[in-house]
């Protein structure tokens, strides 16, 4: 709750701050800069989800919808925040965020697609900008100054800098869309959803799940319903709008069972064993009613047995799931992970390699493959796969560390220290980062890399 309020509050502050520094009309450059700043702050303060398979799944689904939008205004980027409370939000610059908790309360790929479509609609309609204009009166100068101090300045503790009075006034306005903007985003979002090939009823079902959760579910305020108000009327309006596409044959999902497998993969990693076990039981009830497929139930039990340490029984189930869904990232990763735990690294590697053939470029699979190659002493191959995964460093917090070790083993010591320096710089461990960068400078023989390291050292001086 505290965290949630801080997220919303923090975003608001950043908007006010930038409003103060740039005026109300953000140009493209300022907007991109603002997006990057907020992204960095979110990454630093809340963290991103540490389950890359799931983050990539959401990203791919997002990209699928974006490709159905004619001339999108941004090159949209999708990120999963490491927060349980369900929420989704868009910030200027084309950044779309989803809290992982959202996934746990939805039932279908199409429902997640509907939420993403709605967020993309907010982005396309530039609602945040309009929002800032209507909140002109709220340009609390002292607040902006405090935030400037906290954000751009030095050592100041964020919450201390803000003070409780400002906190109260800011949370009263929060970053909340108007009902008019919600209607607009629903209309436009529904068009995106249908263009991407999904049944519009998914938008209604997604909202229903969120609303049920508010009334009958876990305690705590739901961020999504706070930031996107008017759920009940939205459901009614969506029902009317959806009629337009009633006659078209549209899908609820394109990757059979993948949504359910992704959700289980996530829940098995994020919740304690009793909670996960309860979830698996509820699936069995649904299975008996024919709502959940036998493969999904098998997968759920396979992960449960893995968590309980009953590896041989788990292997039997997960191998069967993978044989039925050989192209599925979650089926492959779960089985490979199990082989790895059993010390059967060669088998782990072969599972991932086979699935990668049909899911070319999947960064999570490349990362796994790098780990297994490293374990097998195949450092050259490990290096290649780490290099591919490095396209999205925020998905793999330990990548630079492992890459540094592999480079060291290959005798490329200068690069190894440079990469270890990157690892510690990312973790804001300035002294260790400096130590490795300086070692790198002594060892590197490549002038352009040396120049890079010098720049990194300068940058390091700016980290508090």
Identify which range of 107-115, 180-188, 404-412, 413-421 contacts Zn ion by CB under 5 A.
Answer: 180-188
Residues 6 or more apart whose Cβ sits within 8 Å of residue 132: 15, 19, 24
Sort strands 88-91 and 95-99 into parallel, antiparallel or unpaired. antiparallel
Of 65, 102, 143, 185, the one binding Zn ion (CB under 5 A) is 185
What is residue 80's three-state secondary structure? strand
Considering the rule CB under 5 A, would residue 228 count as an interface residue with Zn ion? yes
Identify which range of 224-232, 334-342, 395-403, 417-425 contacts Zn ion by CB under 5 A.
Answer: 224-232
CA–CA gap between residue 186 and residue 242 (Å, rounded): 10
Shorter beta-carbon distance to Zn ion: residue 182 or 223: 182
Smallest gap from Cβ 258 to Zn ion, in A, equals 25
Smallest gap from Cβ 228 to Zn ion, in A, equals 3
Q: Provide the phi-psi class of 426: left if phi over 0, else alpha when psi is between -120 and 50, else beta.
A: alpha
Considering the rule CB under 5 A, would residue 210 count as an interface residue with Zn ion? no
Identify which range of 20-28, 182-190, 404-412, 434-442 contacts Zn ion by CB under 5 A.
Answer: 182-190
Shorter beta-carbon distance to Zn ion: residue 209 or 297: 209
Query: How many residues bind Zn ion, per CB under 5 A?
Result: 4
Considering the rule CB under 5 A, would residue 190 count as an interface residue with Zn ion? no
Rounded to a whole number of angstroms, the CA Rg of the chain reads 24
Please choose, from the candidates 146, 145, 138, the residue with its C-alpha nearest in 3D space to the C-alpha of residue 163: 146
Shorter beta-carbon distance to Zn ion: residue 183 or 359: 183
CA–CA gap between residue 250 and residue 396 (Å, rounded): 35
Cβ burial 227-245 (10 Å sphere, 16+ → b, else e): bbebbeebbebbeebbeeb
Shorter beta-carbon distance to Zn ion: residue 181 or 270: 181
Smallest gap from Cβ 429 to Zn ion, in A, equals 39
Side-chain half-sphere exposure of 295, counting CA atoms within 13 A = 18
Place of tokens 């290099």: 387
Smallest gap from Cβ 224 to Zn ion, in A, equals 8
What is residue 377's three-state secondary structure? coil
Identify which range of 88-96, 174-182, 190-198, 253-261 contacts Zn ion by CB under 5 A.
Answer: 174-182
Shorter beta-carbon distance to Zn ion: residue 9 or 177: 177
Shorter beta-carbon distance to Zn ion: residue 225 or 403: 225
Report the run of H or E that residue 91 belongs to, with start and end.
Answer: strand 88-91
> Are the C-beta atoms of residues 344 and 336 closer than 8 Å to each other?
no
> Are the C-beta atoms of residues 26 and 157 closer than 8 Å to each other?
no
> Are the C-beta atoms of residues 11 and 68 closer than 8 Å to each other?
no
When CB distances to Zn ion are compared, the closest residue is: 228
Smallest gap from Cβ 169 to Zn ion, in A, equals 23
Shorter beta-carbon distance to Zn ion: residue 133 or 284: 133
Identify which range of 17-25, 49-57, 205-213, 222-230 contacts Zn ion by CB under 5 A.
Answer: 222-230
Identify which range of 131-139, 162-170, 221-229, 433-441 contacts Zn ion by CB under 5 A.
Answer: 221-229
Considering the rule CB under 5 A, would residue 191 count as an interface residue with Zn ion? no
Please choose, from the candidates 190, 225, 179, the residue with its C-alpha nearest in 3D space to the C-alpha of residue 86: 225
Smallest gap from Cβ 176 to Zn ion, in A, equals 9
Where do the H-state alpha helices sit in 243-293?
258-270, 273-288
Q: What are the backbone angles phi and psi of residue 81, rounded to the nearest 5°? A: -85, 145
Smallest gap from Cβ 189 to Zn ion, in A, equals 8
Smallest gap from Cβ 61 to Zn ion, in A, equals 18
Identify which range of 90-98, 220-228, 245-253, 447-455 contacts Zn ion by CB under 5 A.
Answer: 220-228
State the residues that interact with Zn ion by CB under 5 A: 177, 182, 185, 228
């Amino acid at each position: 709750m505290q965290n949630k309020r801080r997220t919303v509050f923090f975003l608001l502050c950043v908007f006010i701050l930038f409003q103060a520094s740039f005026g109300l009309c953000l140009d493209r450059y300022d907007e991109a800069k603002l997006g990057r700043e907020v992204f960095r702050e979110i990454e630093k303060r809340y963290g991103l989800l540490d389950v890359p398979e799931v983050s990539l799944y959401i990203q791919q689904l997002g990209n699928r919808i974006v490709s159905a939008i004619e001339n999108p205004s941004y090159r949209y980027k999708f990120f999963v925040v490491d927060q349980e409370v369900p929420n989704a939000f868009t910030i200027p610059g084309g950044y779309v965020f989803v809290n992982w908790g959202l996934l746990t309360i939805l039932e279908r790929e199409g429902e997640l697609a509907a939420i993403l479509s709605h967020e993309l609609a907010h982005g396309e309609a530039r609602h945040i900008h309009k929002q800032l204009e209507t909140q002109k009166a709220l340009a609390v100068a002292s607040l902006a100054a405090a935030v400037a101090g906290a954000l751009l300045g030095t050592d100041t503790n964020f919450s201390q800098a803000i003070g409780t009075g400002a906190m109260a006034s800011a949370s009263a306005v929060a970053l909340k869309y108007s009902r008019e903007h919600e209607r607009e985003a629903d209309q436009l979002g529904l068009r995106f959803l249908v263009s991407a090939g999904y049944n519009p009823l998914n938008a209604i079902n997604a909202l229903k799940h969120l609303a049920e959760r508010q009334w009958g579910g876990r305690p705590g305020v739901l961020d999504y319903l706070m930031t996107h108000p008017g759920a009940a009327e939205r459901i009614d309006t969506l029902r009317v709008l959806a009629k337009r596409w009633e006659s078209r044959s549209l899908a609820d999902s394109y990757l059979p069972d993948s949504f359910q497998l992704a959700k289980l993969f996530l829940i098995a990693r994020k919740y304690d064993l009793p909670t996960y076990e309860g979830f698996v039981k509820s699936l069995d009830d649904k299975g008996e009613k024919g709502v959940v497929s036998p493969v999904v139930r098998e997968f759920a039990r396979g992960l449960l047995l893995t968590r309980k340490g009953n590896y041989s029984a788990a292997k039997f189930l997960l191998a069967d799931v993978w044989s039925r869904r050989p192209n599925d990232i979650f089926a492959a990763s779960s089985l490979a992970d199990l082989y790895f735990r059993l010390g059967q690294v060669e088998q782990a590697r072969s599972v991932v390699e086979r699935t990668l053939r049909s899911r070319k470029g999947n960064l999570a699979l490349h990362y796994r493959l790098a780990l297994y190659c490293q374990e097998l002493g195949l450092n050259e191959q490990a290096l290649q796969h780490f290099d591919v995964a490095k396209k999205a460093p925020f998905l793999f917090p330990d990548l630079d560390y492992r890459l540094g070790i592999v480079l060291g083993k290959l005798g490329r010591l200068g690069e190894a220290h440079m990469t270890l320096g990157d690892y510690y710089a990312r973790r804001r461990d300035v002294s260790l980062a400096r130590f490795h960068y300086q070692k790198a400078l002594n060892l590197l023989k490549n002038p352009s890399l040396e120049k890079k390291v010098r720049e990194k050292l300068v940058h390091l001086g700016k980290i508090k």
